[in-house]
Structure 1
Amino acid sequence: MNTFTVNLKPVLELTDEQFFNLCQANKDLKFERSANGELTIMPPTGGETGNKNARITQQLMNWTDADGTGIAFDSSTCFKLLNGADRSPDASWIKLERWDALTSEQKEKFPPICPDFVVELLSPSNSLKVAQEKMREYLDNGVRLGLLINRKSRKVEIYRQDQNVEILDSPATLSGEDVLKGFVLNLGMIW
């Protein structure tokens, strides 16, 4: 299945409320919105990708529960970034103090906050170039640590603030570094 991008801007410009309502009215579809208003409609993941993504989220959730310094999210969560884009990383984490600074209404809809940590798992329908652009967008909006995992090539791209992208070949584990101190992502379950 392919990802489709629709440019509605010549016809209409969706407000944040309208975009939220569009997503709620079409729960079987997954939407993202770029900073310039383009809607991306993403197909559901296949079984392998869904399982591997759940394994990533499971490890992050387990660590988050034990650590208590932040809150983790799965791929269903859409965040309103500072540049106006609405993005749904495959897994993400936000420091608790930042999350607690949001109002109840902001937490209930698409939170206007960029996660501190994101993971994107490249699926067969994803373009590597588009995923890399999304990772740079996350950095530009405040992500402190980002992981782009490519199962096909068995490579991981690590994105950090004010640093070049580091590419690792077939790592067994990845560290949460100073962003998620003590977190170790076991990639044996992902490859």
Structure 2
Amino acid sequence: MTAITIDFNSVVKLTDDQFYQLCQDNPDIKFERNQWGKLVIMPPTGGETGKRNASVIADFVIWNRQTKLGEVFDSSTCFKLPNGPDRSPDVSWIQLERWNALTDAQREKFPPIAPDFVLELMSPSDSLSETQAKMREYMGAEVRLGWLIDRKSRRVEIYRLGQQVEILDAPATLSGEDVLPGFVLDMQFVW
């Protein structure tokens, strides 16, 4: 099952509050909204992708509990990015100072902030070109570091703010660089 994109813009342009309410009224459907305001209905992942994503997020949570540098979010968290889209990365992380600068109300709904780090773990039904477009949206929102992991091809695209995309073939590890100091993802649990 692939993502479905619906363009209601000629009929109605949903406000942020209306989009939030749509998501609340339909909790069994995972919605995102791209930079053009089109609704994207995301299918659930399969077992293998879900298992690997859980393993990856566990590594982030353990690292973050040890460093206490920020907050980790799972794929259920939707962010209202400053450049327009509403997106739910598979894993994301925000520096603690930036997260704490939001009001309680902003943190409760779809936080109006770009994460410092995002990870997209492709499932077999994902389109590479659509996932790359999503990564470009993240970079347009000034996400500092992003990883697009394609298990099928064993390829990783590393997105850094203001830089060209770096492509790695079957890396053994990925470094969090200066965005996630000391974090290293062991790819044996991903492949």
1:171 is aligned to 2:158? no
Report the TM-score when normalising by structure 2. 0.98
In 1, are the aligned partners of 2:171 and 2:187 still within 8 Å (CA)? yes
How many percent identity over aligned positions?
Answer: 62
Give the CA deviation at 1:64: 0.6
In 1, are the aligned partners of 2:145 and 2:179 still within 8 Å (CA)? yes
| Counterpart mapping for 1:108-119 below 5 A | 108-119=108-119
Give the CA deviation at 1:75: 0.5
What do residues 90-135 of structure 1 show as CA deviations (whole Å, max 9, x unaligned)?
0000000000000000000000000000000011111101111111
| Counterpart mapping for 1:70-85 below 5 A | 70-85=70-85
In 1, are the aligned partners of 2:85 and 2:137 still within 8 Å (CA)? no
Match of 1:36 in 2: 36
Match of 2:59 in 1: 59
Q: Which moved more, 1:101-110 or 1:24-33?
A: 24-33
Q: Which runs of 4+ in 1 moved over 6 A?
A: none
| Counterpart mapping for 1:10-21 below 5 A | 10-21=10-21
Match of 1:160 in 2: 160
The residue type paired with residue 88 of structure 2 is S
Give the CA deviation at 1:12: 0.7
SS at match of 1:164: coil
Unaligned runs of 5+ in 2: none
Unaligned runs of 5+ in 1: none
Equivalences, count: 191
Report the TM-score when normalising by structure 1. 0.98
The residue type paired with residue 59 of structure 2 is Q
| Partner Cα separation in structure 2 for residue 4 and residue 185 of structure 1 | 31
What do residues 140-185 of structure 1 show as CA deviations (whole Å, max 9, x unaligned)?
1111110000000000000001211111111111000000000011
